[in-house]
Structure 1
Amino acid sequence: MSTDFPTSLQFDGIAEFVAVARLGTFTAAADELGLTKSAVGRAVSRLEARLGARLLHRTTRRLTLTSHGEAWLEHCAAALDELQRGEAILKLAQNRPAGPVRIDLPTAFGRLYVMPVLLDVAARCPALQLNVSFTDRLVDLIDEGIDLAVRIGEPGDSTDLVARRLGVQQLVICGSPAYVAAHGAPQHAADLAHHDCIAASNSPHRVAWLLKQRDGSIAPHVVPIKHRVCDFEMVLAAVKSGHGLAQLPLWMVQDDLSSGNLVTVFDGMSGGEVPINLLWPRTLALPAKIRVIVDALLDSMRQFPVTARMQ
């Protein structure tokens, strides 16, 4: 094929040529394609000019294929069949949950609440192939090829992503009864300077906990950190063992609070609410393999109140 023509023109006239060869007349091809007879004729003529070969013998009585036309028709028919097959596969993928889905989840929340939902979806849709990672860092979904992510915190205002709210995470400051009995319960934010504070972070930067102000607003308050543990579940274990205080999500500690394994401090002052969002790259149409997971997660969070508040 000549390289003197732009790539966008390489398929020009192929559909018209195949229709004429199959139906035997320009008129029949025009009717099938919804074009005028002259438009079909011009398209085939442009194709012949681009190829530098005559494809059709034209007489007043009938059209017949030249030897070049017969050879070209075989290639064109095969190409069109492959395109139709690809279109069918694409439509099937849009309507049937199948294929790989890469998902990134926050460590503790993902393991406790999201992964069971994903496993249920996988059981219902055996053609899905889940690839799940757990991290609390901020990932770039598009650059890292991630289909879905659950993130705790404000989603930002990226126009490349879609965000759907799963819930709201409420935070409490808590410690073991033994620790509070030995060190006393802090009454003011300044009292935290005299306590062993534990943070779910290995960052060397300052850590701030969310505290309620006198006017009712929530603001970050920098606290001195004694222990840094880069895993929320291990922070919980350290707090339950009496190593200090930590600000943790209520969904993680509510059972221990109910059983008496932990007690809260700063009641009425501690807290703040952090959104939990489901994110995915913006597309014109959401594939079925993504849509089925999105629907399942939204439904599960409505049924189970991950935002349970202190009564």
Structure 2
Amino acid sequence: MDKHQFLGIREFIAIARTGSFTAAADALGVTGSALSKQIMRLEARLGSKLLHRTTRRVSLTSQGEVYLTSCLRAVAALEDAEGYLNIGQAEPAGRVHINLPAAFGRRHVLPVLLELAARHQGLDLSITFSERMVDLIGNGIDLAVRIGRLEDHAELVARRLGEQHLLICGSPAYIERKGTPHAKEDLQRHDCLVDWRRGPNHAWRLRSAEDGGELCQIPVRHEMGDGEAILAAALAGLGLAQLPTWLASKHLQTGELIPVLHQLSGEHMPIHVIWPRNHYMPPRMRIVIDALLQAAQAPDSGFL
């Protein structure tokens, strides 16, 4: 093995994390010129340009982004191995990068993760929120929670956490103004509130006696960025919304929202935790996954 094979990796990670040669040099306790030489040697050895440099900022090239993901995973694996071999080290340690759906993640997953981090002082969390499916491997994400049907993916592992139940509802003021729909065709004369997405076509999945489910094209009045925004718009009387019970249940109980099309709107969607397939699962990931699986069994968890 070439003794110079791993030189420059620590410096490259520091620059990528800080976005600055100066800040990275300060953090590593080296001069800026020494740091620059290390990166030049690393790029020469790899035969690829890793960083875009300007007078104001430093950013990763596409090759740099791919290399950073690999470097972070390699460093994390080494940290896990050292932690495992250290005598008496039973506490999970290291950083876990987690991606969650926005509204559901904040309401039902984030409290579990925060409680877990409070109990394990060596566990560091990086949590992002997105309603879109993201590339876990390409973005260096350790695990994600996703709502909806998953496509088969040989590089990912999935464990089912529960099921989301959808219903169609609107505020009393809106229903008094526009009327109660009694069939799916009635939706065509209503204002529908949907999640924002590219493209002109929007559809709600409705139950069907024939095949258990069908997509129904709907007229869209307002598009919102996440479930919380759609809920707020429905409460404000702006239209009908198809909402999960975990989000709308309190407002249904108080009468602020009224369910409609009971016979059609009860679509179910699975909730999974997913992660990249590896031969070795770090303890820090195992404890997060186990905590989510355990929390999902509670009757009031929002996963059921």
TM (norm. structure 1) is: 0.69
* CA distance in 2: counterparts of 1:285 and 1:202, whole angstroms: 37
**Aligned equivalent of 1:298:** 293
Residue identity in the other structure for 1:137: R
Deviation at 1:203, TM superposition (A): 2.3
1:61-84 CA distance string (max 9 Å, x none): xxxxxxxxxxxxxxxxxxxxxxx9
Matched ranges for 1:1-311 at <5 A: 7=1, 88-89=82-83, 91-92=85-86, 96-215=91-210, 217-303=212-298, 304-307=300-303
Deviation at 1:210, TM superposition (A): 1.2
* CA distance in 2: counterparts of 1:87 and 1:250, whole angstroms: 43
C-alpha RMSD of matched pairs (Å): 2.2
Residue identity in the other structure for 2:302: V
* CA distance in 1: counterparts of 2:211 and 2:260, whole angstroms: 17
* CA distance in 1: counterparts of 2:80 and 2:164, whole angstroms: 44
Deviation at 1:285, TM superposition (A): 2.2
Deviation at 1:215, TM superposition (A): 2.9
* CA distance in 1: counterparts of 2:265 and 2:258, whole angstroms: 13
The alpha-carbon distance between structure 1 residues 87 and 113, as it changes in their structure 2 partners (threshold 3 A), is: closer
* CA distance in 2: counterparts of 1:279 and 1:269, whole angstroms: 30
* CA distance in 2: counterparts of 1:152 and 1:89, whole angstroms: 33
Deviation at 1:104, TM superposition (A): 0.3
Confirm or deny: 8 A CA contact 1:170 1:307 kept in the other structure.
no
Deviation at 1:154, TM superposition (A): 1.6
Deviation at 1:91, TM superposition (A): 3.4
Deviation at 1:159, TM superposition (A): 1.4
Residue identity in the other structure for 1:306: G
Confirm or deny: 8 A CA contact 1:150 1:276 kept in the other structure.
yes
1:127-160 CA distance string (max 9 Å, x none): 1111000001110111110001000112221111
Q: 3-state DSSP class of the match of 2:296?
A: helix
Unaligned runs of at least 5 residues, structure 1: 1-6, 9-83
Residue identity in the other structure for 1:280: W
Q: 3-state DSSP class of the match of 1:302?
A: coil
* CA distance in 1: counterparts of 2:235 and 2:215, whole angstroms: 24
**Aligned equivalent of 2:23:** none
Tell me how many residue pairs correspond in the alignment: 227
Residue identity in the other structure for 2:205: L
The alpha-carbon distance between structure 1 residues 185 and 216, as it changes in their structure 2 partners (threshold 3 A), is: farther
Deviation at 1:208, TM superposition (A): 0.9
The alpha-carbon distance between structure 1 residues 184 and 307, as it changes in their structure 2 partners (threshold 3 A), is: farther
The alpha-carbon distance between structure 1 residues 265 and 116, as it changes in their structure 2 partners (threshold 3 A), is: same
Segments of 4+ moved more than 3 angstroms: 84-96
Unaligned runs of at least 5 residues, structure 2: 3-77
* CA distance in 2: counterparts of 1:85 and 1:200, whole angstroms: 40
Confirm or deny: 8 A CA contact 1:199 1:225 kept in the other structure.
yes
Confirm or deny: 8 A CA contact 1:199 1:235 kept in the other structure.
yes
* CA distance in 2: counterparts of 1:189 and 1:86, whole angstroms: 54
